[in-house]
Amino acid sequence: MLIIQNPNNDPYFNLAAEEYLLKEFNENIFTLWRNENAIIVGKHQNTLAEINTDYVQANGVTVVRRLSGGGAVFHDLGNLNFTFITNANSADDIKIDFKQYCIPIIEVLKTLGVNAEFSGRNDLLIDGMKFSGNAEHIYHQKKRILHHGTLLFTSQIADLSAALKVNPLKFQDKAVKSVRSRVTNISSHLKSDLSVDAFYKLIIDHMAAQYTDVQFYTYTEKDIAAIEQLANDKYRTWAWNFGYSPKYTFQKMLKSEGGNIEVYLYVEKGIIEEARFHGDFFNINDKEEIEQALKGCKHFKADIEAVVSRFDIPKYFNNTSAEELLAGMF
């Protein structure tokens, strides 16, 4: 087994690194890594339905889609991420089995006097509170399994809650929704102080002791160049992080001095197919001009702002500013 200690904190790089290791390597792999503030959404999720857009933009939180399914998670430097990539002997051996990959984490915590347990479909709990969510992806071409999980150690729980908070009434779609749970940090259950770096080392040492064929591996310049290329081509793109979202309808009620405006956006692959504004507002110009202009636009703040800026909004929605209308579309 290769053990990779990855010091990079760039979410785009780290998600790309997982795919690179999965597809380009043949060995079984274990790696630990951390991200700067980021929301990592599941492969099949509607990104905008999972994030608090205002908080994300105001706080510079990176949003990235991952390869695996499941729900959205918040990463910061107080959270450790672990990844197993293993080979199946045959196609019949390929199965989703979260628990087996969580056992080493439970064992490490036991040495620290913390009783963690596997619960439900894919969670690790301490005293009934979640500190780890897990997900998996199968790469059938090479019969390889990618399992990864979070480990909240000294994460900012308030930031986690704020970043993932969104009004469920805004979106109507068939995407996988995240299930919010009571969460906790591992550090809150330790009998003595321990840094996240020391916890990192304990996990690495434990994994090295579990296998007889361990090799420590460091990314080469070739590896880094290939990962950065994949990050640029895929993980840093709007098409993957937002455009890959399933078809959805966005709905929001906007209240201004000019009255109530009901906003409806019908979106597919991140592109607005149809926009409709209803309500008890008054207008001079026909709102259909804006509705037509929004067709074909990305459901992305910068792109919609560029469209809205072309119009004198109070003439279309009396006593409503461009900023208010823009806020009504997110």
- pLDDT value of position 30: 98
- pLDDT value of position 154: 96
Residues in the chain with pLDDT values less than 70 = 166-181
Q: Dihedral sign, CA of 63, 66, 72, 74? A: negative
User: Collapsing DSSP states into helix, strand and coil, what is residue 329?
Assistant: coil
Q: Which two structure tokens, joined as six digits, stand for 139? A: 């790469």
What is the spatial distance between Cα 287 and Cα 132, in angstroms, rounded to a whole number?
48
- pLDDT value of position 166: 62
DSSP-assigned letters across all residues of 222-263: HHHHHHHHHIIIIIT-HIIIIITSPPEEEEEEEEETTEEEEE
- pLDDT tens figures, 220-250: 999 999 999 999 999 999 999 999 988 999 9
Q: Which residue has the tokens 């695996």?
A: 68
- What are phi and psi for residue 145, nearest 5 degrees? -115, 130
- pLDDT value of position 70: 87
- pLDDT tens figures, 3-23: 999 999 999 999 999 999 999
CATH number of the domain located at residue range(s) 2-243 in this protein: 3.30.930.10
- pTM for this model (two decimals): 0.84
What is the spatial distance between Cα 36 and Cα 120, in angstroms, rounded to a whole number?
28
- What does the domain layout of the chain look like in residue ranges? 2-243, 248-327
- pLDDT value of position 282: 87
User: Collapsing DSSP states into helix, strand and coil, what is residue 4?
Assistant: strand
CATH number of the domain located at residue range(s) 248-327 in this protein: 3.30.390.50
